[in-house]
Amino acid sequence: MSTIPQGHQYIDGEYRVGRGPVAERVNPATGQVAQTLDFASVADVEDAVTAAAAAFKTWSRLTPGARADHLLAFATELGTRAAELAVLETEQTGKSTRMSHEFDVPGTIDNVNFFAGAARHLQGQAAGDYAGNSTSMIRREAIGVIGSIAPWNYPLQMAAWKILPAIAAGNTIVLKPSELTPGTTLLFAEAATAAGIPAGVINVVVGTGREIGEALVRHPQVVMSSFTGSTQVGRRIMEMAAETGKRVHLELGGKAPLVVFKDADVEAAAHGAVAGSTINGGQDCTAATRAYVHSSLFDTFTTRVAELMDAMVVGDPTDPDTDMGSLISFVHRDKVAGMVERAKEAGAIALSGGFAPDLPGAFYRPTLITGATQDSEIVQDEIFGPVLVALPFETDDEGIELANDTPYGLAASAWTNNVNLALRAAAEIQAGCVWVNEHIPIVSEMPHGGYKASGFGKDMSSYSFEEYTNVKHVLISHDTDTHKEWQDTVFKQR
């Protein structure tokens, strides 16, 4: 049960009661109501943007070192609240407690620590006398109030990925988490205030995408919309942002391939495929969803993946022995099941998995599908559940071609011990991340972001500063002549 008593908006350094409708949040692993939430109204969005705009005036002028000190204190504060954050993350998402304790919370704290350091390393071209009689230099400046919108799959980490690069660079932010999972984002903002980050730098508004998300994107004082979520909503954000001509940063859906070449270690690939497809209940934008396996390894691979999936412990997410908890909601579970059913009706075979009628919540067991066609819905569309489709291929060219044959391009993995083939796959697979003999690991130092329908712009790493800063050219003349020589082109001195 959430520890936040009431007031589910975090504006100007304090909890406030939202003036919008009241909604119930359900624990997806039990199906029981866990919390009653007061949603924001458009007036609350207005207050949050006003607070962020006021805070920008001082926060953006702090030295990078001073901002870094704040972020280091924030990381320490989050460390003292790690257990509370992990418990709530599991309660609101249904993910296993091992995921929350060992991945979500430490990953979030590492991200805060990384950006404390990165705040002091904004990069630009060295100053130079490019015109001969003047010096040019680069200023990298904060852009203003950022409006961010996040999904429900990794609520805490997504909040960190959106907030940290923005505020490290001197911006202030209003973030709307998913209405299904606002709890840890609110605690995150509260911890920032407790650590001494000034009021108004981080604001959280909770409500639906249609009302509160859209109000945030459309707000004229919000200079940039940074969004993580589905491709469909991402495109809507882009349309709305065009109305005020604001910058957008879109981290969208994925359909990651895992390509197992002829010489691969098939046992390692099977383990990678199971971990990569069932992590977070498969509700991970980089999850392995399509395994293309050389035909000589196909039977060994699929038999082993089905065995490993069958052995996974699915159930109570609060039990440390549980490998996989529930999906986010019954509606989402039924969407996943519907895609599997349609694939079966079209001739595919499910080698494992399916519903878990013995469990009370929105559970769906790890599922392996064979016999689907490349152009079918289950191969082409994002499923966002613990479902892996395996298809055979013959030549290296074909493996790479099939990997590229969906609209998405977020992540991919190539499994081979041939260094030439590994380098070729890394170059030719169209995705923002290509793992070789791995699938999933992320690090704060490296960028995360998509190609094609998976969006553009980078989260994490110093590359994210490209999104959250303006690059300004400052030219200082040291030519003391009243009439500069180049001005003759425009008018001659007479």
Catalytic residues: 251, 285
Query: Is residue 450 near ligand NAD by the rule CB under 6 A?
Result: yes
Three-state secondary structure call for residue 46: helix
Contact present, 415 and 264 (Cβ < 8 Å):
yes
One DSSP character per residue, 395-460 reads SHHHHHHHHH-SSEESEEEEE-S-HHHHHHHHHHS-SSEEEES--S---TTS-B--EETTEES-BS
Q: At how many degrees (to 10) do helices 64-80 and 82-93 cross?
A: 70
At its nearest, how many Å lie between ligand NAD and the CB of residue 225? Answer: 9
Q: Which stretch binds ligand NAD (CB under 6 A): 22-30, 205-213, 434-442, 466-474?
A: 205-213
| Residue from the set 94, 254, 315, 361 that interacts with ligand NAD by CB under 6 A | 254
Closest CB to ligand NAD among residues 81, 162: 162
The count of other CB atoms within 10 Å of the CB of residue 475 is 10
Contacts of 232 (CB under 8 A, 6+ apart): none
Closest CB to ligand NAD among residues 298, 408: 408
Per-residue tokens: 209: 């995408």
Binding mask 398-437 for ligand NAD (x = CB under 6 A): ------------x---------------------------
Q: Which stretch binds ligand NAD (CB under 6 A): 92-100, 204-212, 370-378, 470-478?
A: 204-212
Q: Which stretch binds ligand NAD (CB under 6 A): 164-172, 194-202, 233-241, 333-341?
A: 233-241
At its nearest, how many Å lie between ligand NAD and the CB of residue 178? Answer: 4
| Residue from the set 120, 139, 210, 483 that interacts with ligand NAD by CB under 6 A | 210
Tell me the pairing of strands 408-409 and 451-452. Answer: antiparallel
**Across-strand partners of 247?**
224
Contacts of 373 (CB under 8 A, 6+ apart): 346, 347, 379
At its nearest, how many Å lie between ligand NAD and the CB of residue 379? Answer: 16
Query: Is residue 251 near ligand NAD by the rule CB under 6 A?
Result: yes
SS3 content of the chain, % helix, strand, coil (to 5): 40, 20, 35
Query: Is residue 94 near ligand NAD by the rule CB under 6 A?
Result: no
Closest CB to ligand NAD among residues 210, 483: 210
| Residue from the set 12, 38, 91, 179 that interacts with ligand NAD by CB under 6 A | 179
| Backbone dihedral angles phi then psi of residue 132, each to the nearest 5 degrees | 90, -40
**Across-strand partners of 356?**
none
Query: Is residue 195 near ligand NAD by the rule CB under 6 A?
Result: no
Q: How far is it, in rounded angstroms, from Cα 483 to Cα 196? A: 52
Closest CB to ligand NAD among residues 103, 301: 103
At its nearest, how many Å lie between ligand NAD and the CB of residue 222? Answer: 12
Q: Which stretch binds ligand NAD (CB under 6 A): 92-100, 148-156, 198-206, 344-352?
A: 148-156
Query: Is residue 285 near ligand NAD by the rule CB under 6 A?
Result: yes
How many Å separate Cα 51 from the centre of its chain?
25
Nearest to 69 by CA among 36, 19, 12, 112: 112
Q: Which stretch binds ligand NAD (CB under 6 A): 29-37, 112-120, 143-151, 262-270?
A: 143-151
At its nearest, how many Å lie between ligand NAD and the CB of residue 382? Answer: 5
The count of other CB atoms within 10 Å of the CB of residue 333 is 22
Closest CB to ligand NAD among residues 81, 255: 255
Q: Which residues bind ligand NAD (CB under 6 A)?
A: 149-153, 176, 178-179, 208-210, 213-214, 217, 228-230, 233, 236-237, 251-254, 285, 382, 384, 410, 448, 450, 454-455
